[in-house]
Amino acid sequence: MAATTPTEYISHHLTNLVYGKKADDSWGFAEDAIEAQEMGFWAIHVDSLGWSVFLGILFLSVFYRVAQKVTTGIPRQMQNIVEILVEFVDNSVKESFHGKSDLIAPLALTIFVWIFLMNFMDIIPVDFLPFVFHSMGVEYMKVVPVTDPNITFGMSISVFFLIIYYSIKIKGIKGFVSELTLQPFGKWMIPFNFLLESIALIAKPVSLALRLFGNFYAAELIFILIGLLPFYIQWTLALPWAIFHILVITLQAFIFMMLTIVYLSTAHEKH
Amino acid sequence: MSITLTLLGQSISFGLFVLFCMKYVWPPLINALRERQKNISDGIEAADRAHKDLAEAKENSANLVQEGKDQAATIIANANKRASELVDEAKNQAESEKQRIMASADEEINRSAQKARGELSDYLEDLVATGVGKIVEKEVDMAKHKAIIDDLGSQLKH
């Protein structure tokens, strides 16, 4: 690894592999963090998005294979695991969402399993995958997609649009607008109501994304800091932290899924 | 750590994954789960029903066995009665037959005795007549003494 000082080590670990529009208008991989920064919006974090898509396809291909061979008789190993997850998600949706929708349950399943897998990358030792890619000539590699706000916001903003779509679909434009403006203080306070309600609405995707991002960015950073210690001490900190994160990984995936269900459920409710 | 195209990419892949999941993954899995749930609840119900049926059948069979026993006892009693009746009847018949046979045998004996006596007396009559004739060939005139000989003969017959 190119890093020699702790600062370099940390910043190296926090730099994405970026493919984007360079200063001279050509497209290519950024050489370092500064160049990546300069690319602005027209850049793709190849590592985050790549791992994210890879894990999504992994999830879907496993579940798809099980779904094709599904039996109502005695389930086999993989079908057991898949069924536990499906039933768990189905129950969570039934508990919180009382409308009828073909989208909510598969959405919740995708969110839960996909985010779980992306979070799980956190458990893999911080230097392991970057080292493998480094030896293949790839300089930067952030393997935990959820430590990239682009990933978490990408999902939460999609959820946000679903909230708006269902609000309008169920309540009509009028209903949605009046929900935003006529409460909590009645029609004489419309500007104030609107301010309050739009903050509440926008807080939903922002909190969803930042909660997930913050948790894992911090966790990853701590793993990186632990990685700076002498190798014979590392395990005393890394092991408890990793075990603790088995809990956090599941919990954060669950929270994201549950809040999505709840938000969409309120979007379906008429007042 | 800036907002980039990555966000759009993630949103698009999220949408595609959810669509795929909704179309090809979720329905078969949840249908299989529901179907199995139904199978299991049907199975439990069937087991309950079978349990009840079994209890009923046990009761029925006990009743049937009792009934059968009662019937068998009646049949046996009837049969015994009939058997003793038959035996009595047979005895009576045999008795009357015996009487009849004995009566006819008596009659036969009497008749035979009568016949034998008749034959014997005739024979004796002839013998006496022949013997007396031989002895008194000269002295007895059949015409004269016929009355005496007939009287003798009739005495012998008794």
| Cis peptide, bond prior to residue A184, ω within 30 of zero | yes
A229 and A238 Cβ atoms separated by less than 8 Å: no
- How does strand A43-45 pair with strand A27-29? unpaired
Predicted confidence (pLDDT) at residue A2 exceeds the cutoff of 60: no
At residue A14, what is the residue type? Answer: L
Q: Which of A244 and A38 is assigned the larger pLDDT?
A: A244
Predicted confidence (pLDDT) at residue A50 exceeds the cutoff of 80: yes
A2 and A12 Cβ atoms separated by less than 8 Å: yes
Residue B38 and residue A246: Cα distance in Å, rounded? 35
Q: Which two tokens stand for residue B132?
A: 């007396």
- Interchain CB contacts (distance < 8 Å): A and B: 126
Closest-CA distance of chain B to residue A189, Å: 35
Kindly state whether residue A1 falls inside one of the protein's structural domains: no
A207 catalytic residue (yes or no): yes
**Mean pLDDT score, A18-41:** 82
Q: Is A86's CB within 8 Å of B13's CB?
A: no
Residue A130 and residue A1: Cα distance in Å, rounded? 9
**Least reliable range by pLDDT among A25-34, A164-173, A218-227, B86-95:** A25-34
Residue A254 and residue A241: Cα distance in Å, rounded? 20
Q: Which of A12 and B26 is assigned the larger pLDDT?
A: B26
Q: Is A49's CB within 8 Å of B9's CB?
A: yes
β-strand partners of A18: A45
Kindly state whether residue A160 falls inside one of the protein's structural domains: yes
Pick among B7, B23, B39 to test the A interface (most A CBs inside 10 A): B7
Residue A38 and residue A48: Cα distance in Å, rounded? 18
Considering only CB atoms, B32 lies closest to which of A18, A52, A70, namely A70
Q: Is B6's CB within 8 Å of A45's CB?
A: yes
Residue A61 and residue A46: Cα distance in Å, rounded? 21
Domain range for A178: 59-127+149-267
The pLDDT score that the predictor gives to residue B153 is: 74
DSSP string covering chain A, please?
Answer: ----SHHHHHHHHT---EEEE-TTS-EEE-SSHHHHHHHTTSEEEHHHHHHHHHHHHHHHHHHHHHHHT--SSS--HHHHHHHHHHHHHHHHHHHH--S--TTHHHHHHHHHHHHHHHHHTTTS-TTHHHHHHHHTT-------GGGSHHHHHHHHHHHHHHHHHHHHHHHHHHHHHHHHHSTTT-GGGHHHHHHHHHHHHHHHHHHHHHHHHHHHHHHHHHHHHHHTS-HHHHHHHHHHHHHHHHHHHHHHHHHHHHHHHHHHHHHH---
DSSP state of B137: T
Q: Is A44's CB within 8 Å of B30's CB?
A: no
The pLDDT score that the predictor gives to residue A82 is: 92
Kindly state whether residue A169 falls inside one of the protein's structural domains: yes
Question: Residues with Cβ < 8 Å from A9, sequence gap 6 or more?
Answer: A1, A3, A224, A227, A228
Mean pLDDT of chain A: 88
Q: Which two tokens stand for residue A260?
A: 């999505």
The verdict on A72 touching B (C-beta cutoff 8 Å) is yes
Q: Residue B144, CB half-sphere, CA atoms under 13 Å: how many?
A: 6
Residues in chain A: 271
Q: Is B6's CB within 8 Å of A90's CB?
A: no
Kindly state whether residue A189 falls inside one of the protein's structural domains: yes
Predicted confidence (pLDDT) at residue A208 exceeds the cutoff of 80: yes
Closest-CA distance of chain A to residue B52, Å: 27
Kindly state whether residue A31 falls inside one of the protein's structural domains: no
pLDDT over 70, % of chain A: 99
Cβ burial of A256 (10 Å; 0-12, 13-18, 19+) is buried
Pick among B6, B12, B24 to test the A interface (most A CBs inside 10 A): B6
Predicted confidence (pLDDT) at residue A3 exceeds the cutoff of 70: no
Cβ burial of A39 (10 Å; 0-12, 13-18, 19+) is buried
Q: Is B32's CB within 8 Å of A59's CB?
A: no
Number of domains in chain A: 1
Angle between helices A77-96 and A231-268 (to 10 degrees): 50
The pLDDT score that the predictor gives to residue B38 is: 93
Kindly state whether residue A28 falls inside one of the protein's structural domains: no
Going by C-alpha positions, the residue among A80, A147, A82, A68 that lies closest to residue A115 is A147
Report chain B (158 residues): mean pLDDT per 10 consecutive residues: 85 95 92 91 95 95 95 96 95 94 93 91 84 72 74 73
Q: Given CA atoms B136, B139, B140, B141 in this order, what sign does their dihedral have?
A: positive
A91 catalytic residue (yes or no): no
pTM for this prediction: 0.75
Indicate which residue of A52, A119, A215, A265 is catalytic. Answer: A215
Kindly state whether residue A238 falls inside one of the protein's structural domains: yes
Q: Is A110's CB within 8 Å of B18's CB?
A: yes
Closest-CA distance of chain B to residue A204, Å: 16
SS3 B36: helix
Residue A43 and residue A37: Cα distance in Å, rounded? 9
**Mean pLDDT score, A259-269:** 91
Q: Is A105's CB within 8 Å of B20's CB?
A: no
Predicted confidence (pLDDT) at residue A211 exceeds the cutoff of 80: yes
Tokens 């009840």 sit on residue: B52
Pick among A72, A111, A161 to test the B interface (most B CBs inside 10 A): A72
Kindly state whether residue A177 falls inside one of the protein's structural domains: yes
Predicted confidence (pLDDT) at residue A8 exceeds the cutoff of 90: no
Closest-CA distance of chain B to residue A119, Å: 15
The pLDDT score that the predictor gives to residue B158 is: 62
Residues in chain B: 158
Tokens 């992994």 sit on residue: A58
Closest-CA distance of chain A to residue B1, Å: 7
Considering only CB atoms, B3 lies closest to which of A14, A110, A153, namely A153
Query: What is the complex's ipTM, to 2 decimals?
Result: 0.89
Mean pLDDT: which of A37-46, A164-173, A261-270, B50-59 is highest?
B50-59
